[in-house]
Amino acid sequence: MQELMGTARNLSLVMSTGKPEASVEVILITCESMFSVDGGGIMVRTRVPSTVRFSTSPDNLREVCDELVSFADEADAMLARVEVSAIPTCPPELGD
């Protein structure tokens, strides 16, 4: 699964109907973890970065942002309903 490492943006003006319109290129920098075993038998994690890019209008970007905030709110609400002791944990030797 991709993990979000960072974000960036490029701003531009485009001529579509004879007048300038703002455009935002959104850049999501992600990485995927790759696991291997080194010569000593130790598990090693390597992160392989990549980017996802898309262009949109400022209004459409605001709509996407509103949806992402909604996703975060849903995740917080889910966490509030879960008893912490019921969540399985990863053994320390497999953790980050």
Query: pLDDT of 71-93, one tens digit each?
Result: 999 999 999 988 766 667 776 66
Within a domain: 64: yes
Query: What residue spans of 1-96 are helical by DSSP H?
Result: 58-81
pLDDT, residue 86, reads: 65
Domain of 29 in residue numbering reads as 2-83
Within a domain: 39: yes
Within a domain: 36: yes
Within a domain: 93: no
Q: 28: closest CA among 46, 47, 5, 11?
A: 5
Query: Are the C-beta atoms of residues 28 and 52 closer than 8 Å to each other?
Result: yes
Within a domain: 71: yes
Tell if the pTM clears 0.75, that is, is over it.
no
Within a domain: 29: yes
Total domains present in the chain: 1
Ranges of beta strands (E only) in the chain are 2-15, 20-37, 43-56
Query: pLDDT of 32-73, one tens digit each?
Result: 988 999 989 899 989 999 999 999 999 999 999 999 999 999
Q: Say whether pLDDT at 96 is over 60.
A: no
Within a domain: 62: yes
